Structure 1
Amino acid sequence: MDSNKKYWKGLEELNKTPEFVELNKHEFAEPIPIEDVLTGGGLEGRTPRRDFLKAVGFGVGAVTLAACQKVPVHKSIPYLIKPEEVTPGIANYYASTLEGQAILVKTREGRPIKIEGNPNDIIGKGGLSARAQASVLDLYDVTRLKNPLKDNGDYGWEQTDSFIKSELDAIKASGKKIRLITSTITSPSSLAVIADFLAAYPTAKHINYDAVSYTGIIQGNQNSFGKAVLPHYNFDKADVIVSFGADFLGTWISPVEFIRQYVQNRNNKSLEAKKMSRHIQFETSMSVTGTNADVRIPIKPSEEGVALLNLYNAISGTTLPGSQKLTNNPIADKALTLVAKELLQAKGKALVVAGSNDVATQILVNAINSLLGSYGKTIDLDNPSKQFAGNDAEFAEFVSEMNSGDVGAVFFLNANPVYDYYKSADVVNGLKKVRLKVSFSDKNEETAALCNIIAPNHHYLESWGDDNALEGYYTILQPTINPVYDTRQAEHSLMIWSGSTVKDYYTYVRNTWDKSLLAKGGLSGQAGWEKLLQTGFVQTAPIAAGSYSFSYGLDSVAQKILDHSKELTADGSKVELQLYQKVSMRDGKRANNPWLQELPDPVSKTTWDNYANVSPADMKKWGWQDGDVVKIDANGYSISVPVISQPGQAQGTVSVAVGYGRTIAGPVGDNVGKNAFPFHTLRNNTLQTSVVAALTATGTNSPLAQTQTHHSIEGRNSIIKEATFTEYLKNPGARTGKEEDHKVYNLWDNYEHPTYNWVMAIDLNACTGCGACVVACSAENNVPVVGKDEVKRRREMHWIRIDRYYSFNDNGSNGGTTREHEIATMKLDDLDHVKVVYQPMLCQHCDHAPCETVCPVLATVHSSEGLNHMAYNRCIGTRYCANNCPYKVRRFNWFNYWNDARFENYLQGDHTQLVLNPDVTTRFRGVMEKCSMCIQRIQAGKLKAKIEKRPLKDGDVKVACQQTCPANAIVFGDGNDPESEVSKALKSERTYYVLEELGVQPGVGYQVKVRNISELEA
């Protein structure tokens, strides 16, 4: 066992800052202040509790009643005439699709309450992202438009149609251009409707615009192979993966799919077969993918292209003109030679990817993959992804056309360039010269606010449609609720305005499938349509992936890369700025979703903000502290954001997340963070994410709402256990502590579990830290959002958290025998090369639970099935149990979050009550709450088996975190069943129990983290 290795959640814990020490002296993170007792809050400027109760008596109640009249699920129960498909208390599931993934939508009494992955979906195999889990909440957003608007005033649909058709006729007669601007559309039916619209108006053109662009990859493939496609990558077929800034486990292209592929060569089954892929990451900012890499090497944006040139030279045995060594980064320079060796050894099973949107860079990556024999194996150009088709040059041309006065009409569908285009001022000025401006946005957002007409689109859960995100994979979209407001599908609007004879969009979709798509799945007619609605998709046999020879001249490519590198190189007074996406917020379209805003970033553990990531060495050099606000100047644009000391950030660089700084998103998303999109630059017809910037301290400090050290485990060092792949091959049980023989003493009698013993296994090698389980748990168990101020007070309510631990390399110079020695020998440069481990932490449902022995009112008790129960109506909030829990997984409910006026913005208005799971009670203020292992799902599984007169089978019960995990890192089931998946997982030689030495007998086992390090770290 590696007793010398130390783990720490943040720099404040590593350095034992005075603030950290003071906060951890107390029994609780924060005592109950007297003003909380008197007013129910302690939040300055808020309504006192007594006055609020007066308001609740009529004000909120009346609003709720009025809202229910608008929502088609307000019928009383029991029904006078019960709909055939609805049984009170029983959930219905509908197959549908979201962003190309086949999903299942859970409804109760006619209202969608939960999104689940379709187990047969070829993208996620049942796994979903945090954003997909949170999407159901957007349906009940009260800031959605209730009807069409004209010049920001209410307008009827007939008036809207009449006005737009007359305007289009006039524009058509004038010969001016008509432009339809959309984010990437992969729906066959939608594309057909657009084609009909373009045919009706000959001067019309459809332009794909994505705020986060992949034009560089598409154009690079066009130049290299004559195929303008986004490839389908097969990470599961790669033995060696090398990434240059591509966050493929976090935000790059299709992370849910890539996570599933990636872990197949790194999970229990793979390790038991003595096989594990190797992953090397070169990047500027610490990304989710970088934290999961076996070896991570920080590089500046200006060094990325040079590094790829050196890698090509080492693989090909040639030297491209102008190639140069990375003299200022000797670690990266040495690593490239070793990486080239490993890639060549894995020829045919190697994969190199780059996150750059630069065409020349992507051409060079194509050349490297061609030398490695990757095409037709780890890269598929014949069955491509259709998920991002945005064209940066076409959109830039459109902006120019508007400003020249050539555009007579423009339509925006799921596109918001006034917010997310790098030259939004040009878009604003151009729109002033356009006669007809129409937005299909369901909210009056930044671009829609400048349009003549807003024709609000349905939410996807109210819509008919289809999708084709991957070649040969077709999914169906069907409504799960009647439209909540007087909205209309954008496709139906386009059909009316183009004079279509088809009566509605449902009929149009049905015709599309009847003519061709049903046959692709061997279906036909009404029976085939009904089967499609049940299964959710059809799939054709994939085209045989071919190998492609590369013949593009690289001399000019190398020169462009070197020129770009020089442009990005900052002098001593400036830094290299890189833009990136957060897992939760991505491009910012979902900024008004509180579940996503409060999801801690996997790396920084920060909520409700963006910020500037700065290396610890640079923070010390500039004399900055976390939260100090700095002004960033670049491209004639500036923002002021707090800084955060981020281990792993390349020195001399700063990274800032896009997707923040919305001004018309809604009460949740407005003015959260700052807009970093204007830092983009257009170079060689593609948007670039790096630029040289100047930093200036403002002299102010704005504390961030971070969760990384909120639940300290008192410096205990048996939380995380790691091994190298070499150690694992020699002894699979190494580092688990099983080799330590010691006598165990029990202070309690052992519990018997005669029927079921519900336990869980979590594979640290599979968990990527994506956070999908956190949002899934919140949706399933009615976990409330508390907001930034409360998070800063350590009051977040998540029942499951993802702990992020840092450590130094095993082979580093700081492997001393004591923590004091480790700190004394630590160099700031060491913080550039930290290792990261993620650990999902939830109630461990201990058989000898310390919480149970100290509760004075028996609110927390043990069940005969191995679960630790909470009786909320008994709890009086002493918090003794929280103090006695060594895992710090209990949450004190400071407020009545679901009904308190001070949290109304996070509730999305009164309609949020409709998303609540009726099988789970909403907890009132003053009680402790925690993970229940989704007891409602356990009971439902047992009831179903009883009704079907059969024993409960393994897999009948899946807890919410398990069901959504794209990596299948969480396994739950009956430990009494020796053949259950969880029993087999817990028998793994890698299994250990956190703080097992305390004798509390936790019911959650973890599998040791294994890293496939090589001579790269020697």
Structure 2
Amino acid sequence: MDSNKKYWKGLEELNKTPEFVEKNKHEFAEPIPIEEVLSGGGLSAKTPRRDFLKALGFGVGAVTLAACQKVPVHKSIPYLIKPEEVTPGVANYYSSTYDGSAILVKTREGRPIKVEGNPNDLLSKGGLSAQAQASVLELYDTSRIKDPQQNGNDSSWGSVDAFVKSELAAIAASGKTISIVTSTIHSPSTQAVIADFILKYPTAKHVSYDAVSYTGIIKANQNSFGKAVLPHYNFDKADIIVSFGADFLGTWISGEEFTRQYVSNRNNKSLEAKKMSRHIQFETGMSMTGTNADVRVAIKPSEEGPALVNLYNALSGTTLPGSKKLTTANADKAILLVATELKAAKGKALVVCGSNDVAAQVLVNAINSLLGSYGTTINLDNPSRQYAGNDGEIVDFITQAKNGTVGAAIFLDANPAYDYHSADAVKDALKNVRLKVSLSDHADETTTLCNVVAPNHHYLESWGDDSSVEGYYTIMQPTINPVNNTRQAEQSLLVWSDNAVKDYYTYVRNNWNTNLLAKGGLSGQAGWETLLQTGFVLAAPVAAGTYTFNQDLNAVAQTIQSQSAKLVAGDNKFELQVYQSVGMRDGKKANNPWLQELPDPVSKVTWDNYAAMSPSDIKRLSLDEFEVVEIEANGYKISLPVLSQPGQAPGTVSVAVGYGRTAAGLVGNNVGKNAYPFYTFSNGTFQTAAIANLNGTGDIFPLSQTQTHHSIEGRNIIREATFTEYKKDASVNSGSHGEHKEYDLWEGSKDDEIHARPVYDWVMAIDLNACTGCGACVVACSAENNIPVVGKDEVGRRREMHWIRIDRYYSYNDDGNGNAVTKEREIAKLDDLNNVTVVHQPMLCQHCDHAPCETVCPVLATVHSSEGLNQMAYNRCVGTRYCANNCPYKVRRFNWFNYWNDSRFDNYLNNEHTQLVLNPDVTTRFRGVMEKCSMCVQRIQAGKLQAKIEKRPLKDGEVKVACQQTCSANAIVFGNRNDKTSEVYKALQSERTYYVLEELNVKPGIGYQVKVRNTSSELQA
């Protein structure tokens, strides 16, 4: 541990605020009397297993029927009459697709209960985002539309089809436009269906837009190279990465794919070869990518354009218009030093920018051209199809609809009444549209304005395909019958256009037989069956070409100068940045409680968005933490609580979109405030920055954060080193923090047969250099282990139930003279908080060999297994919580309520459908007991059983715990320490390995690898 570094979880802990001190005095609330536990039904005579079976058998529920009835879906799901491949109690897995990534869907007795990444997926190699992990829960959402509707009333499909077809015929005859409004579609079959629809109705037009747009990049590539594409970036081929506001590890384009690429140059394998990429981040608000950067420089939105101009000048030796000194301290120096490093890494450098401004992206193209990035770190010949929306198209559609030239509007995966910057304009325009059809499966904000609703299937009920990257084609197949009386959107379009093929399965099959199977060297029925098993085909990629930039940059720089000048805030005003949060993204999944309760990777806030401001600005305005401020920009006004965010550029405020839904469902309605109206349409694209007035109201709106629930009391939790130090001594900062005498409660336990582990010794290794803090593991664990959602109020009471958490620690270095930072200086010099560094640390039950929880349990509810696992016997636990008091890692959770059956949690998971997502291999815990990470013991047992059936030893990698399986960065490795060839054994032998609080001699079973940053004294934020 660096003695010149001080780590803290939040400003409350750093400044020892009275509220923080008081809360930590009462960290453990009074226990519930045993009489209350018994009277509350927590220790019911019915076991959790029976409760689960009761949930499965409710009434004659829709989901039960969907899973069990015989259906004509060509043997893609289990049947009522059991086929040979279906065995009750044994999971089935089906290949499918989520957002362009190949996935595997786990089903039990016909019900999808878990989504996993396909290990052979081109993008993330088996990793999945938090949103993908949470997607299975949406299948069982009771807010989904149950039947087709006309004029607000339930109808039949026959009636809806007849009405829509007659209306479309009349509108086409009148010559008015039929607009199909969608978000980006990268499904070849869906694109073909829309093309066939347009052939039937020549006045039809496809309008594609994305709530969070990449039009600026696509148009810039059209201007620069004549290719209107979104490039495929290769972060794994870059030695130097410079990002201007692009959260490429989180929300920018393809976060899971970029994470895998990025970490490949920074993990154990790379470090052992003494190689590590270097990452410099210029940004306004602290993003997840910024927290992982080697060097981070906070700049204002108005400075992003000039910073790019200055970087180009430094690289090219020219002087473009708009060159100016940046106001942020050290930013100009950082630009010059970055230019020097980029020059030295030509051909292995990459500059990316999160701006949606065409001019800014053209300048980025010019910079990457100077660096020789095209053909190496940037691929224009095998482009990404993940975002292809055109901002101008949605603006034109609304203008034409308002003018009365649009006769019909069909909405598919598009909700402009929420995410367009002027909802009133959308509402007024749609009043003049004769036929308005929603293909949404939820009654969202746009659906409520439509006179026809033809509800779509959930993707787990659907046939389809995808192609997120050129040459990569994935298949989607249903894993359950439709839960409700819904119909796939593509089939609706086929019916309404009188297509010769009425069944969408047949349409997809024909498209693959004709066009796509051959790309993978497949054909016929055998090829189709192979596709359903593998999940994808991959065509040979086109050789990536080099491109020469040839465009007048003087005009581009002048445009950048003009755009930047519009964002410079005067006195008492702030520069507003609108961004996506990692969990909520664009807000389409706002009704998913797993995502709402997922702590933000940076702020650790759940269930709300907020106004992030620098600590110095909050002090200057005399605002209190969580004080509600009124933010006004572009004629729109909202009130949000302020959050003091270290690393935020002074003079700026950041607000996340994706919140403020009014028609999301029971969970997502009225959570946070809508920030989309802060967008402006300028120079052909939507801009995400503006000048804002900000005024305090005096009201306090507490935010529920998970980060400061436990104090580390200055203990030796985090260890990190610079890459320079690591190259000199690979074991730097990994050794024990001081000498300490070891005591053993069990004399001779290492050799005692009782404590011996002759076959399995389950342990884990976590690489802090690979963990980005995304939180996908948190959602994966919730899905696998039946972890309940408790809601904002309970999180505020420190009662979140997550078995794994991602702790975020801030720090900064010494005072420049080699002296440790003092408490007084920390508080007084708030500007230092603009230059903090961040480390993310997954924290879960450490499965200690000398577990403190085991020694204090009066009823032996928590015991150690012969395979090294700390286990819980729920039926023994009486809820004393002595174990939680005695755990130095604070990883044990107490069930205050019967979350799955208590009416107070009806909005979250307590309903007849969502309980069907429960994993039957894991008991649902009852009120009044402790629970914590089990290392997915059910997966361990399943792996051992399979090996036993096949009469062979268990192989390394056959058992993957849920958090490990979803991690795109491979930051978590689990396995048998007794196997000297195992990945986990090798990881724990790394010279970077240390054990958290090892001085306590609890002998944790999880080893961490020291965080290494590739920084230098010259360029250090």
**TMscore range, shorter length:** over 0.9
Counterpart mapping for 1:344-359 below 5 A: 344-359=343-358
Alpha carbons of structure 1 residues 40 and 209: separation in structure 2 relative to 1, 3 Å? farther
Structure 2 residue 778 is matched with structure 1 residue 756? no
Alpha carbons of structure 1 residues 385 and 791: separation in structure 2 relative to 1, 3 Å? same
2-structure distance, mates of 1:984, 1:159: 64
Equivalent position SS for 1:21? helix
Quick one: which amino acid aligns to residue 804 of structure 1? R
What corresponds to 2:780 in structure 1? 776
Equivalent position SS for 2:102? strand
What corresponds to 1:232 in structure 2? 232
Quick one: which amino acid aligns to residue 1012 of structure 2? V
What corresponds to 2:405 in structure 1? 406
2-structure distance, mates of 1:1004, 1:343: 38
What corresponds to 1:891 in structure 2? 893
Equivalent position SS for 1:116? strand
Quick one: which amino acid aligns to residue 799 of structure 1? W
1-structure distance, mates of 2:342, 2:1002: 47
What corresponds to 2:1015 in structure 1? 1013
Deviation at 1:745, TM superposition (A): 3.1
Structure 2 residue 73 is matched with structure 1 residue 73? no
Whether the 8 Å CA contact 1:140–1:908 is kept in 2: the answer is: no
Comparing 17-26 with 892-901, which one deviates more in the overlay? 17-26
Structure 2 residue 600 is matched with structure 1 residue 615? no
Deviation at 1:155, TM superposition (A): 0.7
What corresponds to 1:429 in structure 2? 428
Alpha carbons of structure 1 residues 821 and 696: separation in structure 2 relative to 1, 3 Å? closer
Offset from partner CA, 1:87-113 (integer Å, 9 cap, x none): 100000000000000000000000000
Offset from partner CA, 1:192-235 (integer Å, 9 cap, x none): 00000001111110011100000000000000000000000000
1-structure distance, mates of 2:719, 2:819: 17
What corresponds to 2:19 in structure 1? 19
What corresponds to 2:972 in structure 1? 970
2-structure distance, mates of 1:61, 1:598: 24
Q: 2:884 aligns with which of 882, 885, 890?
A: 882
Equivalent position SS for 2:672? coil
What is the root-mean-square deviation in Å for CA atoms of aligned residues?
A: 2.1
Deviation at 1:330, TM superposition (A): 3.5
Offset from partner CA, 1:695-736 (integer Å, 9 cap, x none): 1111100000001111323331x1000000000000000111
Deviation at 1:152, TM superposition (A): 1.0
Offset from partner CA, 1:522-580 (integer Å, 9 cap, x none): 00000000000000000011111011000110001101101111100000111000000
2-structure distance, mates of 1:140, 1:582: 24
Structure 2 residue 691 is matched with structure 1 residue 700? no
Structure 2 residue 122 is matched with structure 1 residue 128? no
1-structure distance, mates of 2:480, 2:618: 52
Equivalent position SS for 2:478? coil
1-structure distance, mates of 2:498, 2:143: 31
Quick one: which amino acid aligns to residue 216 of structure 1? G
Alpha carbons of structure 1 residues 669 and 39: separation in structure 2 relative to 1, 3 Å? farther
Whether the 8 Å CA contact 1:70–1:485 is kept in 2: the answer is: no
1-structure distance, mates of 2:252, 2:718: 28
Quick one: which amino acid aligns to residue 854 of structure 1? V
What corresponds to 2:107 in structure 1? 107
Alpha carbons of structure 1 residues 942 and 626: separation in structure 2 relative to 1, 3 Å? same
**TM-score of the two chains, using structure 1 as the length reference:** 0.96
What corresponds to 2:954 in structure 1? 952
2-structure distance, mates of 1:163, 1:120: 45
Equivalent position SS for 2:432? coil
Deviation at 1:904, TM superposition (A): 1.1
1-structure distance, mates of 2:43, 2:93: 40
Deviation at 1:921, TM superposition (A): 0.1
Quick one: which amino acid aligns to residue 861 of structure 2? A
Offset from partner CA, 1:488-514 (integer Å, 9 cap, x none): 000000001111111300000000000
What corresponds to 1:187 in structure 2? 187
Quick one: which amino acid aligns to residue 624 of structure 2? Q
Deviation at 1:34, TM superposition (A): 8.0
Quick one: which amino acid aligns to residue 325 of structure 1? K
Counterpart mapping for 1:449-468 below 5 A: 449-468=448-467
What corresponds to 1:93 in structure 2? 93
Counterpart mapping for 1:835-854 below 5 A: 835-854=837-856
Whether the 8 Å CA contact 2:735–2:994 is kept in 1: the answer is: yes
Structure 2 residue 826 is matched with structure 1 residue 823? yes
Counterpart mapping for 1:726-875 below 5 A: 726-738=724-736, 742-749=740-747, 750=749, 751-809=755-813, 811-813=814-816, 816-817=819-820, 820=823, 823=826, 827-875=829-877
What corresponds to 2:752 in structure 1? none
Whether the 8 Å CA contact 1:171–1:408 is kept in 2: the answer is: yes
What corresponds to 1:442 in structure 2? 441
Equivalent position SS for 2:207? strand
Offset from partner CA, 1:433-483 (integer Å, 9 cap, x none): 000000000011100010010000000000000000000000000000011
Deviation at 1:412, TM superposition (A): 0.2
Offset from partner CA, 1:573-630 (integer Å, 9 cap, x none): 1100000001110000000000000000000000000000010000100111221001
Equivalent position SS for 2:871? strand
Deviation at 1:25, TM superposition (A): 1.6
Whether the 8 Å CA contact 1:240–1:350 is kept in 2: the answer is: yes
Alignment: residue pair count = 1000
Offset from partner CA, 1:775-829 (integer Å, 9 cap, x none): 00000000000000000000000000000000003x54486457546636x5101
Equivalent position SS for 1:656? strand
Whether the 8 Å CA contact 1:808–1:814 is kept in 2: the answer is: no
Structure 2 residue 572 is matched with structure 1 residue 569? no
Deviation at 1:37, TM superposition (A): 4.1
Equivalent position SS for 2:6? coil
Alpha carbons of structure 1 residues 335 and 821: separation in structure 2 relative to 1, 3 Å? same
Deviation at 1:33, TM superposition (A): 7.0
2-structure distance, mates of 1:109, 1:254: 33
Alpha carbons of structure 1 residues 421 and 39: separation in structure 2 relative to 1, 3 Å? farther
Alpha carbons of structure 1 residues 206 and 814: separation in structure 2 relative to 1, 3 Å? farther
Offset from partner CA, 1:409-449 (integer Å, 9 cap, x none): 01000000000000111110010000000000001110001
Specify every segment of 5 or more residues in structure 1 that has no aligned partner in the other structure, as ranges: 42-46, 51-55
Offset from partner CA, 1:120-178 (integer Å, 9 cap, x none): 00101000000000000000001111110111100100001000000001001111111
Deviation at 1:82, TM superposition (A): 2.7
Whether the 8 Å CA contact 1:29–1:794 is kept in 2: the answer is: no
Counterpart mapping for 1:145-184 below 5 A: 145-184=145-184
Alpha carbons of structure 1 residues 702 and 747: separation in structure 2 relative to 1, 3 Å? same
1-structure distance, mates of 2:950, 2:815: 59
Whether the 8 Å CA contact 2:239–2:345 is kept in 1: the answer is: yes
Specify every segment of 5 or more residues in structure 2 that has no aligned partner in the other structure, as ranges: 45-49, 71-77, 750-754
**TM-score of the two chains, using structure 2 as the length reference:** 0.96
Offset from partner CA, 1:837-889 (integer Å, 9 cap, x none): 00000000000000000000000000110000000000000000000000000
Alpha carbons of structure 1 residues 368 and 639: separation in structure 2 relative to 1, 3 Å? same
Quick one: which amino acid aligns to residue 560 of structure 1? T
What corresponds to 1:929 in structure 2? 931
What corresponds to 2:75 in structure 1? none
2-structure distance, mates of 1:524, 1:812: 67
Deviation at 1:913, TM superposition (A): 1.3
Deviation at 1:739, TM superposition (A): 8.4
Deviation at 1:85, TM superposition (A): 3.3
Whether the 8 Å CA contact 2:473–2:537 is kept in 1: the answer is: yes
Counterpart mapping for 1:400-799 below 5 A: 400-716=399-715, 718-738=716-736, 742-749=740-747, 750=749, 751-799=755-803
Alpha carbons of structure 1 residues 348 and 81: separation in structure 2 relative to 1, 3 Å? closer
Whether the 8 Å CA contact 1:616–1:831 is kept in 2: the answer is: yes
Alpha carbons of structure 1 residues 812 and 367: separation in structure 2 relative to 1, 3 Å? farther
Quick one: which amino acid aligns to residue 434 of structure 1? V
Whether the 8 Å CA contact 1:128–1:772 is kept in 2: the answer is: yes
Quick one: which amino acid aligns to residue 458 of structure 2? H
2-structure distance, mates of 1:928, 1:814: 48
1-structure distance, mates of 2:348, 2:218: 23
1-structure distance, mates of 2:818, 2:128: 39
